[in-house]
Chain A
Amino acid sequence: MTPTPPILEVRDLAVSFATDDGVVQAVDGVSFDLRAGEVLAVVGESGCGKSVTAMTLLGLTRSSNARFSGTAQYGDTELIGASEEQLRKIRGAEIAMVFQDAMAALNPVQRVGKQIAEQILAHEDTSDADARDRCIELLERVGIPRARERVDNYPHEFSGGMRQRVMIALALSCDPRILIADEPTTALDVTIQAQILERFRELREQTNAALVLVTHDLGVVADIADRVVVMYAGRIVEQGTLDEIFYDPRHPYTWGLLGSIARMDRPRPKRLPTIAGLPPSLANRPTGCHLRPRCPHEFAECVKIPPLEARGESIPTHPSTAEHTDRCWLSTEQKVALREFAPGEIGLGTKAAAS
């Protein structure tokens, strides 16, 4: 695949909040590229910083107790340092966001048509009637039946899945180049989830928009992502293509995530492996590699923060690209050997088991 120039370049993004419990480093040196038409999945446990990263791109985390460093270059605009005025033009029009809880994210006392039209009218010089027609069209496009009537409904008059589609319609209304979806399917059941993902796929085909998909659901990732970024405690711990992450994972945390999926195509293991321990408090993180307290393969080197690098020599089954990076000091042979929890099963194991 010939690499097209990225439409979004994030370099060393760091976000911290001064809270009652101390300074919380929510995002710590995150870098990635996003290309047109690409689906980038940002994966990790709750609290790993993926939502904060996503919202920071649109400046939605700005507040008096937040501190930012690093850059996010979108075309001519550097998003992190941009003024509110500059961001306003980009929000909704060029980069749009789909939030997790559609019921909370929509104004409960406004009709959905009006809410979508509000975004259109904020960016384009059309008439109210035109905006309304476009709303109806958008609702039809995301698969809401009887859109002409339902455009005047209130959010609580839709089911969960339909509400989420309304949010997607809202996000698409100005044909953004980048769509950021923050856990868009988490609140929905599996069948609706499949339909929503289908919408995203269609969107990509029709408009070549890029999608940043923030989720903790690896099933969703496997379904739709092109590339994956794995985050843990504010840092990216592994980054690569979908195949690389799923078939050639190079970081113990990724092993843990993959190992903890219940799979239908394998014999059932005696116990579903989990990652022992708890994620660290972001106000008080361990020195060096953040996974140290929970990683059974920890060794002396781990007290130094491993830089995010492409370390891999290729292994016969999986050619490694320069973009498959990870943050683990272990050598490639060690990784290949250690990552199989049981023959054919990728997983992390526990410290107790390892010793």
Chain B
Amino acid sequence: MGRFILRRLVAMIAVLFAISVVTFSIFNVIPNGDPALRLAGRNQSPDQISAIRRTWGFDKPLYVQYAKTMEKVFTGDLISYANQVDVDREIIQDVPRTFSLAIGAALMWMAFAVAIGLYTAVKAGQFSDRFLTVLALIGISMPVFWIGALMNYYLGFKWKIFPNGGYVPLTENPIDWAYHMILPWTALSLLFIGVYSRVLRSNVLDTINDDYVRTARAKGLSERQVLIRHVLRNSLIPIVTLWGLDFAAVIGGGAILTEKVFDLQGVGQYAADSVGQLDIPPVLAIVMFGAFFVVLLNTVVDIVYAALDPRIRLS
């Protein structure tokens, strides 16, 4: 197991490096004109542009540019030219909000998905199964920002059941924090509940006919014990991988939209706002860190998967 972990960590570092190169390339290498102009965004004064050219090294060879860019990102020297703010500091402030959203939503969708997935599998073919499947399909088809906006408007603004967007830090007031997060969590979860419950249902239906489940029954275990100890546990293993992958995808994707709609001021919203202003430095940093996080989480998931399913350790 130790060797497996080491191998994965080494692979991870290689990928992280490659990601930094790719991110750099997107912004500074894509052939469409002067990168300095692009970085300046909407603030295109000649002074600004020559300053950019200097500090980012656009008059120097590519590898120097890469080094300078990475230096800026990792030493907190990255400035957003549109707002004159320190990008890294801004990101650090926003991270807890994004994590609150992502972790809460991930737990919520997992809980519901397992319940619904197991239920529909056990009741496969009956009306309740079909009905919930249809609901799941509808859930998958709704854009998260649309349903989020509607929820915020009706439940938050109009009927005042929930707060109208905004964020309260956990450290300030846990109850209020949760109260503000319920709508965003739900909006973000809906899509994933739809997907995961169907994945789990499919896995359970496959597992339930596997030979070792029959052996479990032949041992004299109750149906409930068979279902939970053998069927569910084995069905969940591939789900763990998916969950890890999607959690990372949420941070870099769905979270952006949800944050914007509910005005949570998280990292995602920061990225979205920067995009709107064509302010490149924050986008660059966030994209890179986002990818880093995905890779990191992937590696963790790999290791957890290997711990759960011993056959994987051999590969």
**A touches B (Cβ under 8 A):** yes
Contacts of B214 in A (CB 8 A): 60, 99, 105
A 40-80 binary contact with B (CB < 8 Å = 1; else 0):
00000000000000000010100000000000000000000
Binds A, one of B97-105, B220-228, B242-250: B220-228
Question: Whole-angstrom distance between the alpha carbons of A122 and B222 in the complex?
Answer: 9
B234 contacts A by Cβ under 8 Å: yes
Contact B230 A91 (CB under 8 A): no
Contacts of B234 in A (CB 8 A): 107-109
Contact A91 B217 (CB under 8 A): yes
Binds A, one of B1-9, B40-48, B147-155, B307-315: B307-315
Contact B220 A123 (CB under 8 A): yes
A133 contacts B by Cβ under 8 Å: no
Interface of B is mostly: helix
Minimum distance in angstroms from B258 CB to a CB of chain A:
35
Contact A156 B311 (CB under 8 A): yes
Contacts of A90 in B (CB 8 A): 220
Question: Whole-angstrom distance between the alpha carbons of A97 and B215 in the complex?
Answer: 8
Minimum distance in angstroms from A259 CB to a CB of chain B:
34
Question: Whole-angstrom distance between the alpha carbons of A91 and B216 in the complex?
Answer: 10
Contacts of A170 in B (CB 8 A): 215, 219
Contact A92 B212 (CB under 8 A): no
- Of B210, B219, B233, which contacts A104 at CB under 8 A? B210
Chain A residue nearest to B234 (CB atoms) is A109
Contacts of A340 in B (CB 8 A): none
B218 contacts A by Cβ under 8 Å: yes
Contact A108 B311 (CB under 8 A): yes
Contact A99 B223 (CB under 8 A): no
Contact B219 A108 (CB under 8 A): no
Contacts of B218 in A (CB 8 A): 58, 60, 91-92, 96-97, 99
Size class of the contact patch on chain B:
20 to 34
Contacts of A92 in B (CB 8 A): 218-220
Contacts of A84 in B (CB 8 A): 222-223
A31 contacts B by Cβ under 8 Å: no
Size class of the contact patch on chain A:
20 to 34
Chain A residue nearest to B310 (CB atoms) is A154
Contact A105 B310 (CB under 8 A): no
Contact B308 A109 (CB under 8 A): yes
Question: Whole-angstrom distance between the alpha carbons of A119 and B212 in the complex?
Answer: 13
Question: Whole-angstrom distance between the alpha carbons of A90 and B217 in the complex?
Answer: 11
Contacts of B278 in A (CB 8 A): none
Contact B211 A91 (CB under 8 A): no
Contacts of A60 in B (CB 8 A): 214, 217-218
B272 contacts A by Cβ under 8 Å: no
Q: Counting chain A CB atoms within 10 Å of each CB, which of B218, B233, B234 scores highest?
A: B218
Q: Counting chain A CB atoms within 10 Å of each CB, which of B211, B219, B234 scores highest?
A: B219
- Of A97, A122, A156, which contacts B221 at CB under 8 A? A122
Chain A residue nearest to B214 (CB atoms) is A60
A101 contacts B by Cβ under 8 Å: yes
Contacts of B220 in A (CB 8 A): 88-93, 119, 122-123
Question: Whole-angstrom distance between the alpha carbons of A101 and B310 in the complex?
Answer: 20
Contact B221 A118 (CB under 8 A): yes
Contacts of B49 in A (CB 8 A): none
A106 contacts B by Cβ under 8 Å: yes
Minimum distance in angstroms from A229 CB to a CB of chain B:
21
Contact B222 A88 (CB under 8 A): yes
Contacts of A109 in B (CB 8 A): 233-234, 237, 308-311
Contact A108 B221 (CB under 8 A): no
Contacts of A104 in B (CB 8 A): 210-212
Question: Whole-angstrom distance between the alpha carbons of A292 and B59 in the complex?
Answer: 93
Question: Whole-angstrom distance between the alpha carbons of A88 and B221 in the complex?
Answer: 6
Task: Give 20 A-B pairs besides A84-B222, A105-B214 with Cβ atoms closer than 8 angstroms.
Answer: A90-B220, A91-B217, A91-B220, A92-B219, A92-B220, A104-B210, A105-B211, A105-B215, A107-B212, A108-B311, A109-B234, A109-B311, A118-B216, A119-B219, A122-B220, A123-B220, A154-B310, A156-B310, A156-B311, A170-B219
Interface residues of B (CB under 8 A from A): 210-212, 214-223, 225, 229-230, 233-234, 237, 308-311
17 contacts between A and B (CB under 8 A): A84-B222, A88-B221, A88-B222, A92-B220, A99-B214, A101-B211, A104-B212, A107-B212, A107-B215, A107-B234, A108-B212, A108-B309, A109-B234, A109-B237, A118-B219, A119-B220, A154-B311
